[in-house]
Chain A
Amino acid sequence: MAERYSGLRWRLIDGLIGAGRILRPGRLGRLQPYVLMLPAILLVSVLAVGLIYLGWLSIHAYDSFLMQQGGISAQQYLLLFEPPSGPFYQQTLLRTLLLSLTVTAGAVLLGLPLAYVIIRTPRRALRVTLLVLLLVPFLMGEIVRTFAWYLILANRGMAGWVAGLFGIEDGGLLGTPLGVFIGMMQVSTPLATLLIMPAMRRIDPNLERAAATLGASPARIWANVVIPLTWPGIVAAIVVVLLLNIAEYDMPAILGLGRLPFVANVIGDIYRLQQNLYLGSAFSLLLLVVSTLVVVLPGLLFLGWLRLRRRQRRMAA
């Protein structure tokens, strides 16, 4: 009986190996890299088609009552920049960028020591426990997580209770930028930590020991050894966390009590309440352009500064 099963198992393995020989990418020769890129190309194409469609809608006049598209026009962009509604859209964009940048900065600043502590913890069990605790926020849905913060930050929640201890009536944080900031930090900080960790793990602990032996203070070790070597992880954390925050919807909607909307909330309202997909498309593209500039421009400036610094060092040497 055992031999029979053994024979069957070997035939199955032979079959799989044969199928693998037929299907394996190595047979594709020079086409192999292109074939492997195909899924990525398809994904980018789908996104590109969507963007082109948004762009096409945004440059047309539109009558939302008649649901009729007009000719090529700058109508939607003018609505975003001109009174009476223009200032509201600009203020929303500014709020989105400022809060997102603040949250990103806070998340990276907290994420750096968190990542360091987790990586440098010598006991494996404790390290794993810290890692699991870091992942806890991702184990629940965003709406559940947001409503948990709603209860904590409300006037009748923990924030209101603490404020009451200091004699502040109705001292909850809902509907305030600080409340939205706290809610967004809960997700952004673990994410930033996770993105920083791989770069930090690659740092040889002997480098820090060597710096300490040479008399460097802990702060100097961080500034001259840890941060520069973690830089790729920090950049990745800034880009990913910032872009996710700029697109945030639930936190500002729920913790902002509908009074501190982000661009995503306003785009949702434009579509849902104004039934104007064309204006929503224009605002989406504006956000895309602005957020790209916010991410790319400082990066380019920083790279330029690094090159300049290297050149100056070479000249000095």
Chain B
Amino acid sequence: MDRLANGSTVRRIGRRDCLAAVIVAATALGGLPALASELPMEPATKPERLVVRTWGGPWRTTYADSVAASFTAKTGIPVEFDVTDFNEVQVKIAQSVGAGTRPPVDVVLTIESMAYAAQVQGLSAPFDTAFIAAKDELGPLALPAGATNYVNVAAYSQPVVYDPKQVTLPDTMSWNDLFDPKYEGKLFVTNTFPSLLFPLAKAMGLDPAKDDLTPVFDKIAGLKANIGAAGDEEEFIAGIGAGEVSLGITLVGTAMEVEGLKWVVPTEGAVVSTESIYVAAGLPEDVNYWAQMFVAEALTAENQGKIAAGIAETPVNLKAPVPDFMKGDAAFPVTPEEIAKYGIVVPVDVEARNRDGWQAAYSAAIQR
């Protein structure tokens, strides 16, 4: 340290200081590319609008009021919704990718097994997780292993739902209890296989990833006498309203649309499935950027809370406000511990790879 004529002091720069400065500068310069790779460069142009494929009803309104509203507020890009059937959208995306033109939708909301299939089929674009502001807030379902092109935005389970005015179910029951003859013609089953196939496989000690599920389909065929109706959620609501069925396997969100229904998660657990969101392949670079921004926006704690309340599905962001009706309910597992205790989670690739054959076998098993 040297003292100057005016009394002030100045520090002499030594070799150690030079070395430290070089290290700091090198670290800073070295860190720049790392920073750049974390957050992609914002493109100079913005699309006129973003088109998001979703389901109709509460999905459309909920996503419009939550993710789309906050996305538009932040970016100024309006969001439009397209409720075309998923299969049609996939065919159109495939045609666009083949022709090198822009797909009719930019972002797709669907179930995870379909999103996984779209990833394998090259119909979705890789998703950069750098867009997600708070990755550490996300639970284990949000970014599953092997998911490179999509994120999961909500989870739902399918327990046994019943009308207490028509039938009484014990608080502790097994999936095997559904075979009781007292439920003859009174059971509703979904027309898609996971809700019944996987719980019965677990009850029979079979692993869908390894074992032949023929015995499970044979067991489902033994349930024919009890199955009064099969279909989508709408058919369950119509069937239980008309007194055709008294109990069924369906989404709790669907059950909540009918007053007075109750539900129970059997001891083996209930299938926990996830809804996913991804960016369509073949988009122009700037559209792809903003579409990824939209996907990330769906994972913020605030929007996750709104989605949970709007469509009665559990959030995948652990910091999201959980609606009161979900708290302490085994049908709404949120934390990893709750999912392990009450949920049956089958690897998505197993479900997606076997969808065609299992669906055919399941359809055959439940029909008269």
| Residue of chain B at shortest CB distance from A253 | B231
Establish whether residues B356 and A275, one from each chain, have CB atoms under 8 Å apart when the complex forms.
yes
Of all chain A residues, the one with the shortest Cβ separation from B365 is A88
Contacts of A271 in B (CB 8 A): 87
Q: Is A104 an interface position by the 8 A CB rule?
A: no
- The answer to whether B355 and A269 have CB atoms under 8 Å apart is no
Question: Is B243 a contact of A160 with CB atoms below 8 Å?
Answer: yes
Tell me if B235 is interfacial: C-beta within 8 Å of chain A: yes
CA distance A276 to B103 in the complex (A): 22
Size of interface on A: residues with Cβ below 8 Å to B = 37
Quick one: which of A64, A91, A260, A269 has the most chain B CB within 10 A? A64
Given the complex of chains A and B, what is the CA–CA distance between A175 and B245 in angstroms?
A: 11
Contacting residue for A273 out of B185, B192, B228, B243, CB 8 A: B192
Is A97 at the interface (CB under 8 A from chain B)?
Answer: no
Q: Determine which of B87, B123, B228 lies in contact with A272 in the assembled complex, contact meaning CB atoms within 8 Å.
A: B87
User: Would A174 and B121 be within 8 Å (CB), given that A85-B361, A257-B235 are in contact?
Assistant: no
| C-alpha gap A239/B107 in the complex (Å) | 47
Asked if A5 is an interface residue, CB under 8 A from chain B, the answer is: no
Cα A275 to Cα B204 with chains together (Å): 29
A260 nearest CB neighbor, chain B only: B368
- Contact between B239 and A170 (Cβ–Cβ < 8 Å)? no
For A151, A253, A257, the residue with the greatest tally of chain B CB atoms inside 10 Å of its CB is A257
Q: Does B173 contact A (CB under 8 A)?
A: no
Rounded to whole Å, the gap between the CB of A40 and the closest CB of chain B is 30
User: Does A226 touch B at the CB level, under 8 Å?
Assistant: no
Q: How far is the CA of A274 from the CA of B363 in the complex (A)?
A: 10
State whether A170 touches B185 (Cβ < 8 A): yes
Q: B218-249 interface mask toward A, CB cutoff 8 Å, 1 = contact, 0 = none?
A: 00000000011111000100110011100000
Q: How long is the Cα–Cα vector from A260 to B367 in the complex, in angstroms?
A: 7
A59 at interface by CB-CB < 8 Å: no
8 Å CB contacts to B: which residues of A144-172?
150-151, 154-157, 160, 170, 172
Q: Does B117 contact A (CB under 8 A)?
A: yes
Which residue on chain A has the smallest CB distance to residue B189?
A258
Q: B243 touching A155 by the CB < 8 A rule?
A: yes
Cβ contacts under 8 Å, B364 to chain A: 84-85, 87-88
The answer on a CB contact under 8 Å between B356 and A65 is yes
From DSSP, what is the main secondary structure of chain B's interface residues? helix
**With an 8 A cutoff between CB atoms, is B120 at the interface?**
yes
Contact B360 A85 (CB under 8 A): yes
Pairwise interchain contact A79-B94, C-beta atoms closer than 8 A: no
A242 to chain B, nearest CB (A): 23
Residue pair B191, A258 in contact (C-beta under 8 Å): yes
Assess whether B363 is in contact with A272, with CB atoms less than 8 Å apart.
no
Mind listing 6 A-B residue pairs with CB under 8 Å? A84-B360, A170-B185, A175-B228, A257-B230, A257-B235, A274-B355
Q: Check B153 for interface membership: any CB of A closer than 8 A.
A: no
Residue interface mask B84-119, A partner, CB < 8 A = 1: 010100100010000000000000000000000100
CB interface residues, A 254-269, toward B, < 8 Å:
257-261, 266, 269
Cβ of B320 within 8 Å of any chain A Cβ, yes or no, is no
What 19 new A-B contacts, CB under 8 Å, besides A154-B244, A257-B239? A65-B117, A65-B353, A66-B120, A67-B94, A67-B121, A79-B360, A85-B360, A85-B361, A85-B363, A88-B363, A150-B238, A154-B242, A155-B242, A160-B243, A175-B229, A258-B235, A269-B363, A270-B360, A273-B363
Taking a contact as CB atoms under 8 Å apart, the answer to whether A84 and B356 are in contact is no
Tell me the smallest distance from the CB of A300 to a CB of chain B, in Å: 34
**Across the interface, do A66 and B244 meet the contact criterion of CB distance under 8 Å?**
no
**In whole Å, how far is B4's beta carbon from the nearest beta carbon of chain A?**
77
What is the chain A residue whose CB lies nearest that of B185?
A170
Inter-chain contact B85/A275, CB cutoff 8 Å: no
- Which residues on A are within 8 Å of B, measured CB to CB? 64-67, 79, 84-85, 87-88, 91-92, 150-151, 154-157, 160, 170, 172, 174-175, 253, 257-261, 266, 269-276
Q: Are A257 and B355 in contact, CB atoms less than 8 angstroms apart?
A: no
B243:A156 contact, CB within 8 angstroms? yes
B87:A259 contact, CB within 8 angstroms: no
Give the tally of cross-chain contacts (CB within 8 A).
101
Question: Whole-angstrom distance between the alpha carbons of A150 and B364 in the complex?
Answer: 24
Chain B residues proximal to chain A, CB less than 8 Å: 85, 87, 90, 94, 117, 120-121, 123, 185, 191-192, 214, 217, 227-231, 235, 238-239, 242-244, 352-353, 355-356, 359-361, 363-364, 366-368
Complexed CA–CA distance, A67 and B356 (Å): 11
Alpha-carbon distance A150/B243, docked complex (angstroms):
12
Give A281 to B227 CA distance when docked, in angstroms.
29
CB < 8 Å neighbour of B367 from A64, A67, A259: A259
Give A54 Cβ to nearest chain B Cβ, in Å.
Answer: 15
> Closest Cβ of chain A: how far from B232's Cβ, in Å?
9
- Determine whether the beta carbon of B244 is less than 8 Å from that of A155: yes
Question: Is B243 within 8 A of A274, CB to CB?
Answer: no
- Nearest B residue to A157 via CB reads B242
Residues in A neighbouring B352, C-beta threshold 8 A: 65
By a CB distance below 8 angstroms, the chain B residues around A174 are 242, 244
B157 to A: closest C-beta gap in Å:
20
Interchain nearest-CB distance for B320 vs A (Å) = 31
For the complex, give the distance between the alpha carbons of A271 and B355 in Å. 12
The CA-CA distance from A270 to B366 in the complex, in Å, is 15
List 8 tightest A-B contacts by C-beta distance, closest first: A88-B364, A258-B230, A154-B242, A257-B229, A258-B231, A155-B243, A156-B243, A64-B356
Once bound together, how far apart are the Cα atoms of A88 and B359, in whole Å?
A: 12
Q: Which residues of A contact B356 (CB under 8 A)?
A: 64-65, 274-276
Q: Which residue of A lies closest to B184 (CB)?
A: A170
Contacts of B121 in A (CB 8 A): 66-67
Are the C-beta atoms of B355 and A275 separated by less than 8 Å? yes
Q: Is the CB of B355 within 8 A of A150?
A: no
Bound-complex Cα distance A67 to B235 (A): 30
| A151 neighbours in B (Cβ, 8 Å) | 242
Determine the distance from Cα of A261 to Cα of B85 in the docked complex, in whole angstroms. 21
Given A85-B364, A258-B231, is A273 in contact with B191 using a C-beta cutoff of 8 Å?
Answer: yes
Complex Cα distance A261/B214, Å? Answer: 23
